[in-house]
Every structure is written in C-alpha cells, then in structure tokens.
A and B are shown apart, each in its own frame.
Chain A
Amino acid sequence: MMRTWAVALTNKTFQFFVSLKLTFVLLLFIGIGAVIGMSFDQTVTFEEFYQRHPKEEMATFFLSFFELYDAFHSWWFSLAILLLAMNLIACSIERLPRIYFEFVRPRPYLTKRRMLGLPLSWSAKVDTEEKAMELINAFLPKRSNRARLKGPDGFFYCERASLARFGVYVVHVSLLIVMFSSIYATQNGVDGHVMIDEGTMARFITRRGHSGVSSPYDLGFYIGCEDFRLRTFVDNSPMEFESDLFISGDRFEKTHQKTVRVNEPLKFAGFTFYQASYKPIASEPLVTILVGDGRDFNERYRVRLNEPIKLLDSTVISVDKIYEDFAGLGQALRIKKETAFTSTYFHIFRRHRDYDRVVRNDRYQVIFLDADQKYATGLSVGKLPGIEAIFLGFFILLCGLFMCFFMTPVRYFARMQKVSDHIVVSLAAQGFRNPQAVKDMFHRRIKSLPI
C-alpha cells in the first residue's frame, strides 16, 4: 500500500516536472524576475540599498523578503533556476528514449495506413516501372545522411539531417552544463578587487560576497605594481592604460612579471588579474622628457620637479613647473636652464613636440613626453574554477542551436505499387520542425517532378 502511494507520488512529481507548461511558466517567471532585478541597482551593498529606498514598514519587508538588493542571488530567483534545471533534466529523461528509438528504428515503409497519417503525400499513376523510378529518383534528395533504402514491395526511404533531431537535447544539456558549472564557479571561486599604489604591493584583496557585502581575502602571495602608465589623447581622454605587475612570495622575491592592459590580464596560481581601473594618488608627479642635440645625444629622463639633469657641457636643466593647460595649448612644462653664468627659463608643450627645436633652436632640444602623476592601479581579481566547463557549455549550446535552427530533419518516403495495367507511385514527406517550410519544400519537389 505504502509502496503504491510512493510510486504514485513519484509519478505525479515526475509528471509535474516533465510538463512543457512548467517550462513556459518558469521561463516567464525568470524573464519577469530579470526585468525586476534590472530595475534595482544590484551593485550597491545591503546598507546602501536600504538608505536609498523607502523606509516604510511594508516596503522594507517587501524589499528584504524578496532580497531585491541582490535579486539574482535571491531565494526566489535561485528556486526558479533550480526548478528549470530539474524541468530540463526530467524532460530529457522522458523524451530522449522516444527520439532515440525513432532515430535508430525509423519505420521506413510507406504503407497505406502510414500514408493516411502523413499530411504531405502525393500519388500518381504511370505506365512503366522506369517512369515510376524516374519520379522516385527525382523526389528523393540526392544527398542524405541515411543511405537510400529499397525495401520489399517497392518501398523507398531516405532521411536528411536526422541528427538534428537531437538539437534540442544538445541545447538542454549545454544549458545544464552552464548552470551547474556556474553554480560551482560561484561557490568555489573568488571575485574581488584591489587598488595598488605604484611601487607598492598588496596581499589582501576585497572579495565581493553575497548581498554586496565585501570581505578581505588572503591571496597567499604578494601582487605589486612597479609602474602604471596612462596614455591619453590630446583631449585628455584615456587612450590606453597599463600596469607593470609582479608577483612575489613571503621573502619579497619577484617570481613573475607582466605588463597588463585592458583585455590583457596576468594569470598566476589560478588567479587572473585584470586591468580594470585607476585613480590618481596625492604625491609628487614624475615628468618624462627627451633631451637631444639633434645628432648623437638623445636621452630620456624621468625626473621629479626641480631634480637637476646634468648635460655634457655642464649645462643643468630641471623641470620648474607643470601647467595642466598653458594658454589653451594643453599641458606644458617650464624648464629651468642653468649654465656657469646664466639661469634662464623656457616652456615646452606636450601637444607640440617640435616647438622647442623650431622656436628656441638651442644646442639641446627638450621634448615633453609625459607628466606622470602617481596612480593606484585598479585590478579586478578573479578565480573561476570550472570556467572551461562554462565555455564548453557555450560551445555545445551554439552547436545545438545550429542543429535546431539551421537543420530541419525530414524523412522522405516513396512507394511503387503495381495495380492491374499501371503502376501507382506514392510519395510522402515528414518534417519534424518548421512545418510550413517543409510543406513548401514538398510542394516544390512535387512541382519539379518530370511528369
């Protein structure tokens, strides 16, 4: 009795999960949930969210019960995803065997009874067997992935794109791979951020946790920034920014070095460090200038303000002042030039590199390359175990979708039957997707028959 009850319950549960209507409802629920989640800022922390939204009791209850501050990790959204995963698994279990057996045992004979069940069929009377064969050969596609079958009593059969019938399953399997590997990556991965001043190192990063709550995370090694460079266009918008990063152990020895840029990260010990942002820090700026005599001497200097540069003929130059915008000509430097007897000043412009050579025409020309404000480099730190599985899932998903939308499985049936003094040729087709397109194709084939 107990067993019967348990079987009935299992059956009912299974029937609930194999329902396509459940898929429909869940997809709708997740879609609406996604739009609701979009309407609330998900990047803020739990406290910030409460400060921004109304303080009424009902509103507070509503926001906290549905966890709208972290809608995409909330209980209701996770539950919907979980139910969808179970729905996918149940549907696959229920429908796969049927499709598999249909695939391996396709019932190729076009009997009279079978013909009644096929909406796309056509018959004609011909005089000779040759003519009947000509019609059948013209109807059956020349290229098909199943060998043409000539059965007893004049049955013919072939099938195109039969493997595409598994397209939906491939898509579902890929979605399950993506779902489960994402859950694994989220549970076991690290998603954090660190700001490192130029010339310093960091061992702890800020890890983003559930509900926007951050916590420190020990990397187990040091990550340092030797230098940060920001290249800007003439309008001061950033063209490119990069950091010279290094990894060091507890003894501060550099074990790994790389220059990272946006789209070019550093990978080490399962962690990936991405160039994400930067911010200027309050400190004395460094200036890069190029000093040359137009012939052999051409030297690049990176100096602080008033730091002397001694040139060959006992001339000493130093950067006296930095202008962010000199009379609308952009960033400029005032250079102090000292010889044994004189002390003079001149200006050079970052935007006009030939200015000093053309205008001052001195023995040494100075070119203003860069004024390096000290920066802190912003690195996004990620450790996603199982990311390869997610990408594999994506690849399988694309393959499955291609099978679903660009391949239509069609079965072609033909029968040649001798009736008294003539031969009846019956032709039929059965599509498993896209009925209108299959219907059009069938009528095109019938129209093109040599009759």
Chain B
Amino acid sequence: MSSTALYNLSTGGYVMSLAIFALHVVNTRRLLLRFGVALVAASFLVQTAGMVYRWMEAGVLEVHAAEKTLGAALSGWSWFVVFTQHPPWSNLYEIMIYMSWGITMATLACELKWQLAWVRQIGIILALMALGMASLNDATIKPLVPALKSWWIMIHVISASIAYASGSLAAFISLFAIIKSRVHRTQMMGCAVLFLGCLIFLLGGGLRLLRDQAYYVKLLSYAGDNIRNVMDMSKEKAASYLIPMPMVGPLLLLVVVIHILVGVFLLWRFSKIKDEEKLSGWAVIACLVSVLATGLIMFGHDIKRTAILVDGNISHHLFPAGPWFIGFKSHPWSLGLFIFVVFIEAILAIYWYWPQMVTKRLPDSAVLESAAYKAISLAFFLMSVVLITGALWAHYAWGRYWAWDPKETGALAIWLTYAIYLHARRTKGLSHTFSSVIGIIGFFVILIGFLGVNLGLFADGLHTYGNS
C-alpha cells in the first residue's frame, strides 16, 4: 500500500460517482443522488488518508536522509520537526492532488449547504482534471529544498489551494446564475464565444505566434520508460528547448478567427432578431469542432513525434509515456486550455440545444448568485491570507516581503479580480449578471496565477522550485 495506490482508489471513486451523477440526469431518483454523494465523500476520505500517508512517507524519507547526512539518529523534538516538515503539497504533483482534494471538499460543502444541480458534476470533473494534471508530473517523493523548510508552508499553501478550489467552483456557479437569469441565449452565446476566442489567442500562444511566426513546442528526449525534458547542464534543470510545430500556428489563428466571427455574428443577430425559436446552433458547433480539430491535429503530430523519439517496439512504450503524455508534457498550457475550452463549449452547446434540461434543475438565480458570492468571499479572504502569509514568509526567508515575483503578482491579480467582483456587486447600475461574469473571469485568472508560472507562461521567479 502506498499513497499513490490510495490516490488511484479515490480517482476510481470519483469516476464512479460522476457516472452515477450522469445517470441521475436521466433517472432522478433521490437514492441515486445520495449514493453518488456518499461515494464522493468516501473517495474524499480515501484521498485524505492518502495525503496523510504521503506525509508519513515523506517524513520517513526526510528523517532517513537527515540521519544519513548528519551521521546520527534523530530523536525527540528534532525527529518530530524533521518528520513533519515535508507536507504533501511541496511540488506540482502534490499540489495538483491537493487542489483536487480542495475542489472535492468545496463541492461537498456546496452539496451539504445548497444541493445545487450540475455543480456537483462540475466539481467532480474539475477534481478529476486536477488529478489528470497531477499524473503528468513526477510522483516520487524528493527531499524538501531548504527554502520550503518552514512552518509558513502549511498555512500559505493550505489557504491558496482552498481559495483556488472555492474560486473555481464559484465561477461555474456564476455561469449557472447567468444561464438562469434569463439572459438571452444568443447574447450569452455571442459574449461567451467572443471571450473564449480572445482567451485562446492570449493564453494559447497567439502573441508569441505573431512575434515568431510559428507555434513552438518543448523538445523532449526519451530516456528509459520516462519522457524527460532536455537538461540544461549549466543550470542543472530542465530547459525549454523549443521546436516549431507545423500547421498548428495557422490553425490556432483560424480557431480564433472562427470564434470572433461567430461571436460577432451572434451578437449582431441578437440585435436584429430577438426570437428564441430562430437560433442557429451551427455557429456554436463550428467553434467546438474547430477547437477539437486543432487539439486532435496537435495529438496527431505528437503521435508522429513519439514514433521518432521512441526506439524499438513502440507499443511497448506507449504506456505510461503514450503520445498524450508527450503531448501534454511538450505543450501542457495550450492543450490544457483547449480541453478546458472544449469543456465549456460542450456545456454551452448542451444549453443551446436543451435549455430546459439545464435550467429546470437549477434553483433561482438569486440563490446561485448568493452561493457564488459566498464562495468568492471565502476565496477572497483566503487569498488575503495567502498574500499576507507569503509576505511574512518571504520577509523571514528572503528579506523581501514583496518582490513582484510572477507568482506573487499572479496571486495579487486573483485577489484584485475578486475585489472587483465584490465592488461590482455594490456598484449602482451594474447588474448581478455583470459581477457573475467577473466571477467567471476569476477562474481564468486563477489558471494564469496558479498554473501560468509553473507551466512556463511567464518568466521564472522565486517560486519555480515548486515546478517539479
């Protein structure tokens, strides 16, 4: 038994509960729902046990390493300090596991308090996405670097993860609040598609594409059963050697253009014809298909690249380092973003074709809006704790309470987004729909602030030791 086995067990539980929730959409028996929620709770407990177990595993490793280095056995308080100094959220793998734990906890809290339809499904999907992201990273426990040997790591990272989890869930509750608040479907779709188009351009590498006239991916080398980044020996860390990926650049721009055209068309149509019956679903499907096609072409290219990189019997090497793995390792940000956009557009498409199915189960928009407000208030409070504890820790460890490091600035951007949300709610003349839109944008700011630095979207900063 190991922590990884417990994590796998909990992942299985989440997948099963998601299947039960999907079944509950067609068969609305209360027992089914209760069983699904109980399964989520049980899987959550298993994951918690896994985290506690991993803490113990890391503790044993730290004690062993310290004893070997010092040449003496530790005992008493010094043993306790070394044993507990390595919490299970000290690298990206553990952080993503911890994120999924936080999201599940927020989903369960939401379920206990409001029993919001769809939010439980979205929560579990987000938790599974976080677990999927975790699986792309190295799961081995390595000794903690000196800078992280501080008690501040406990409160700092705990607050950050719960804040990100509750902010993410709040974004989807806000989306449902907009859906429920009788905003015209065509108008909503137009705005959403325009927003997603801009997002793909800005975060999917559009600016770099215009500057370098090519889409680049990380060059990876094959080593045994693992795919490793090419090492830059002078810096003793993985370096991002980039190679151009043909076709993807123009396709990415095409996707952006399709989104913008569709968005503008839908908004124009809304201004001319306000008849719900005359909706044109092909527009949203075109967006969905364009994003899917570009993602699949990327995968196709990675499969070819795998054939070049992997010697001998390829099928033997497809698991665990399959083409999807190489794809994610070489351009995690773009593919992650694409999958997410597909996920959002799938929700929008479902709403477009079967609006009653989505809205009839949702409570009143005021209830949803209030739930989103509470979740964002919690996220805002915890983000303040993150910024304050981070500043205190940085002051004692580095001598600078604030260094405008990308991760620090990212956390500040999240905090500011939620401050805007809270002020927008109180500003006369701005509707709650407007603040809900900011709540949704908050999710993308979380992605930028939390993952942007780790996945190489921004310059290296003081937090980059958390990357691996």
Q: Which residues of A contact B (CB under 8 A)?
A: 20-21, 23-24, 27-28, 30-31, 34-35, 37-43, 54, 72, 182, 191, 231-234, 237-241, 261-263, 265, 272-274, 276, 351, 353, 367, 369, 380-382, 384, 387, 390-391, 394, 397-398, 401-402, 404-406, 434-437
Contact = CB atoms under 8 A, between A and B. Distances in A.
B398 A38 contact: no
Nearest to A32: B413
A434 to B, nearest CB: 7
Contact of B65 (A39, A42, A239, A263): A239
B366 A436 contact: yes
B142 interface: yes
Interface in B377-391: 377-378, 380-381, 384-385, 388, 391
Contacts of B380: 401, 405
Contacts of A398: 384-385, 388
Contacts of B404: 37, 42, 72
Interface stretch (B93-101, B268-276, B424-432): B424-432
A434 B427 contact: no
A380 B398 contact: yes
A268 to B, nearest CB: 13
Contacts of B150: 263
Given A239-B146, A263-B396, A437-B374, A27 B419 contact: yes
A402 B396 CA distance: 25
Interface stretch (B17-25, B41-49, B66-74, B317-325): B66-74
Contact of B416 (A34, A40, A43, A435): A34
Contacts of B450: none
Main secondary structure of the interface of B (DSSP, over half): helix
B392 A391 contact: yes
Contact of B143 (A233, A262, A391, A402): A233
Contact of A31 (B420, B458, B461): B420
A382 B146 contact: no
A274 B377 CA distance: 36
Contacts of B146: 238-241, 261-263
B71 A39 contact: no
A402 B381 contact: yes
A369 B71 CA distance: 8
B413 A34 contact: yes
Given A239-B143, A391-B392, A436-B366, A384 B401 contact: yes
Given A191-B399, A239-B66, 15 more contacts: A20-B427, A24-B420, A27-B420, A30-B416, A35-B413, A39-B458, A42-B404, A233-B143, A234-B65, A237-B142, A238-B145, A240-B149, A272-B399, A405-B377, A406-B381
Interface in B106-152: 142-143, 145-147, 149-150
B448 to A, nearest CB: 7
A20 B426 contact: yes
Contacts of B68: 233-234, 351
B7 interface: no
A20 B428 contact: yes
B399 A434 contact: no
B367 interface: yes
A380 B400 contact: yes
B395 interface: yes
A387 B395 contact: yes
B416 A27 contact: yes
A394 B398 contact: no
A43 to B, nearest CB: 7
Contacts of A405: 377-378, 380-381
A110 B70 CA distance: 74
Nearest to B410: A38
A367 B70 CA distance: 13
Nearest to B430: A24
A367 B370 CA distance: 67
B369 interface: yes
A420 to B, nearest CB: 39
Contact of A437 (B370, B419, B452): B370
A191 B385 contact: no
Nearest to B417: A31
B397 interface: yes
Given A24-B424, A238-B146, A191 B400 contact: yes
A368 to B, nearest CB: 10
